[in-house]
Amino acid sequence: MKRYLLSFLLLALMTLGACSSDNQPKPNGEIEATVKRVIDGDTFELSDGERVRMIGVDTPETVKPNSPVEPYGKEASDFTKKLLTDQKVKLIFDLEPRDKYERLLAYVYLSDGTFVNEKLVRDGYARIMTIPPNVAFAALFLEAEREAREHDRGLWGLEDSKSKAKPAKEKDEASAGSNQTPQEQAPPEGKLIKGNINSKGEKIYHVPGSANYDRTQPEEWFATEEEAQAAGYRAPKR
């Protein structure tokens, strides 16, 4: 009888363990969840307390400690709140399901199929932020950002955003009447580091004197490497 009871308890524990492993985040997996509250434009909390950071996007800061609210941050946060609060969502994971802060990293879909990450970029509420190895939709996000910039949507309609990240087409037109190529255009005062987005959607910065600096056409200019990194750019691998 004791042996039967022990076997029964062991089987029950195994069954409970199997059930608890369902709907758990894993590389290239997916789960369904309910959004409890939105923290800011690109981060939210689930009903079970898990925090989720959306992959590939970066909205202006609104809740960063000891930092002011960034331009268009409130608009981005309010937009995400209206879109996600109390909604059931599907979270799809890339190669790394969590970041160093133990937040879930996910592509987020509403029940009607809306791809939230893409919508934030395409509607001008977020810039792209590509961090390998989670790059499955990098090209899509890059195309969405270019469209948002070309149509001055959201944060790209701000004068400050335009001056910091003018599309390549506009740069070419601006230099058409001069003898300077886009690469030879004078950088903003005090900003010599070039930020470039490659064909894979990766954001890479180049410092003066580096191998590809002279032939790099900048999307953005930065004063320090820390500023470039904060905007989602990384140093070249070589």
Residues recognised as catalytic: 53, 61, 103
Collapsing DSSP states into helix, strand and coil, what is residue 167? coil
Longest Cα–Cα distance of the chain, Å, equals 94
On the question of a cis peptide bond just before residue 133, with omega within 30 degrees of 0, the verdict is yes
Q: What is the DSSP string of 59-91?
A: PPPSS-TT-PPPTTHHHHHHHHHHHHTT-EEEE
Cα–Cα dist 34/85, whole Å: 8
Helices H / strands E in the chain, number of each:
7, 10
Best CA proximity match to 181, nearest among 194, 163, 168: 168
Determine contact, residues 160/71, Cβ cutoff 8 Å. yes
Determine contact, residues 204/198, Cβ cutoff 8 Å. yes
Q: Please give the helix or strand (H or E) that residue 8 lies within, else none.
A: helix 2-21
